[in-house]
Amino acid sequence: MTKSSKTKFDIRQSAPGKMKSIGGYLELQLSRDSEYYPAMIRLNTGRNALEYILKIRGYTLIYLPYFTCEVIMEPVRKLDIQYRYYTINEHMEPVLDFELGETECLLYTNYFGLKQEAITGLRRKFKNLIVDNSQAFFSEPVQDTDTFYSCRKFFGVPDGAYLHLASPARLKLERDVSVNRFSHLIKSIDLGIEQGYQDYVANNDVLQQNPIRKMSALTHAILEGIDYKACRYRRNSNFMYLHDFLVNHNDYSFDASNVNAPMVYPFSHPSTSLREKLLAKRIYVATYWPNVYSWTTKQMYEYYLTSHLIPLPIDHRYSHLDMKRIINVLKNLL
Ligand SMILES: Cc1ncc(COP(=O)(O)O)c(C=O)c1O
């Protein structure tokens, strides 16, 4: 084929406000159905959803749990809002030894997706409650409560957040573009999860100090193609399977009668070597959250949780057979 005989397409980008292009190459085909929270505000990250709330509400001080991820500090520092940390008890609920002023708010994390009842109780006490449902995608917002979600903790997307804002006020935002944060997700299919890990770390890093934007079209498209019912079912089923075996070994006791597709199975045990031993068997478990070591002292419950809590994976990728493999490894160690 000569150079001149090559087919050339006149590719006109479908930029906002421009007429849609026709023809050209075929785009990536994704099945598009519906999102889980179609009525919520779509944003680029969970931390930026917190920024959105803080901007709209104009809070002057925020109470934060010691037991949370350090990225939560990004909007607090950016907006130069005063903050105070609070401790949690053995049920992972706030120790309420403070009052909230009119312009002050309390941020509470729905830990592992198991704290919906605690949130209902907190909401009765405080109107200025903000719920971080980053670990509780399937937990609906409690009525009239500002609540945000981070999509990448539950699904194969690099970013994306939903915000339920109990106010009609809105910020005008540009749309984010997340095409350059997808390499770990693409590698996970073609090369395997482990081969994509370095990219995952790098793509997490680029989320830092990212301006608050609308959710990207790509992340949105992927979120429209997820079978949420199946994901929810698998999480619940895997969670209960692990619970049956581990309930009597678990330091952290919780009510498992109302689980709603939690993020992970939180297994807390006096042994400090479980994490390493699981990793040696290629069972990867995170530490929630390394920053807590520098925020707390060794005597604090949060410090203990960070070193002893093993978040076991229960997500939609896994069946009872995989859960059995986890149990078999743990059995030899308990
Ligand atoms: C508890 C918790 N809240 C919020 C966030 C922030 O979510 P995102 O990464 O979407 O900003 C994270 C982790 O990143 C988290 O672990």
Q: What is residue 333's predicted lDDT score, i.e. its pLDDT?
A: 86
Give the bridge partners for 213, in sequence order: none
Ligand 1 midpoint to CA 136 (Å): 11
Residue with tokens 């929270």: 37
Ligand 1 site, residue 47, Cβ cutoff 6 A: yes
**Does residue 29 sit within a domain?**
no
Q: Is 160 in the pocket of ligand 1 (CB under 6 A)?
A: no
Shared-domain flag, residues 209 and 73: yes
On whether the CB atoms of residues 44 and 158 are closer than 8 A, the answer is no
10 Å Cβ neighbour count for 205? 10
Atom index in ligand 1 nearest the CA of residue 151 equals: 10
Q: Which residues contact 204 (CB under 8 A, 6 or more apart)?
A: none
Last-in-domain residue among 223, 253, 272: 223
Same domain (yes/no): 267, 135: no
Q: What separation in Å is there between the alpha carbon of 53 and the centre of ligand 1?
A: 15
Instruction: Give the CATH number for residue 248.
Output: 3.90.1150.10
**DSSP one-letter string for 110-168:** -GGG--HHHHHHHHHH-SSEEEE-TT-TTSPPPTT-EEEEEGGGTSS-S--EEEE-SSS
Q: How far is the CA of 291 from the centre of ligand 1 (A)?
A: 13
pLDDT tens readout for residues 179-229: 999 999 999 999 999 999 999 999 999 999 999 999 999 999 999 999 999
Indicate which CATH number applies to the domain containing 175. 3.40.640.10
Residue identifier of the C-alpha nearest atom 15 of ligand 1: 69
**199 shares a domain with 51:** yes
**End residue of a domain, out of 202, 223, 244:** 223
Residues 146 and 267 reside in one and the same domain:
no
Domain assignment present for residue 24? The answer is no
- Domain boundary at 164, 188, 223, which? 223
- Per-residue confidence band for 16, with pLDDT thresholds at 50, 70 and 90: low
147: Cβ below 6 Å to ligand 1?
A: no
207 lines ligand 1 (CB under 6 A): yes
In the structure, what pLDDT confidence band is assigned to residue 332 with cuts at 50, 70 and 90?
confident
Whole-angstrom Cα distance, residue 200 to residue 181?
8
Choice from 44, 45, 47 to test ligand 1 binding pocket (greatest atom count within 8 A of CB): 47
With a 6 A CB cut-off, is 161 part of the ligand 1 pocket? yes
Atom of ligand 1 nearest to the CA of 45: 10
Does the pLDDT of residue 144 top 90, yes or no? Answer: yes
Q: How far, in Å, CA of 219 to CA of 166, rounded? A: 24
Q: What DSSP state is assigned to residue 17?
A: T
- DSSP state, 175? B
Average pLDDT on 145-156 reads 98
Q: Percent helix, strand and coil across the chain, each rounded to 5?
A: 35, 15, 50
- Which atom of ligand 1 approaches the CA of 160 most closely? 10
Q: How confident is the model at residue 294 (pLDDT cuts 50, 70, 90)?
A: very high
Asked if 100 and 195 sit in the same domain, the reply is yes
pLDDT given at position 151: 98
Instruction: State whether 275 and 126 are in the same domain.
Output: no
Q: How many domains does the chain have?
A: 2
Tell me the CA–centroid distance for residue 114 and ligand 1, in Å: 17
In this structure, are 98 and 187 located in the same domain?
Answer: yes
For residue 6, being part of any structural domain is answered with: no
Tell me how far the alpha carbon of residue 203 lies from the centroid of ligand 1, in angstroms.
14
Distance (Å) from CA 46 to ligand 1 centroid: 5
Domain extent at residue 164 = 41-223
Give the number of other Cβ atoms within 10 Å of residue 158's Cβ: 26
Q: Is 292 helix (H, G, I), strand (E, B) or coil?
A: helix
Say if residue 238 is in the same domain as residue 219: no
* Per-residue pLDDT at 11: 46
Q: How far is the CA of 1 from the centre of ligand 1 (A)?
A: 52
Distance between Cα 13 and ligand 1 center (Å): 33
pLDDT per position as a tens digit, 19-31: 888 999 999 999 9
Mean pLDDT confidence for 60-84: 98
**Residue in 42, 54, 69 to alter for ligand 1 test, most ligand atoms within 8 A of Cβ:** 69
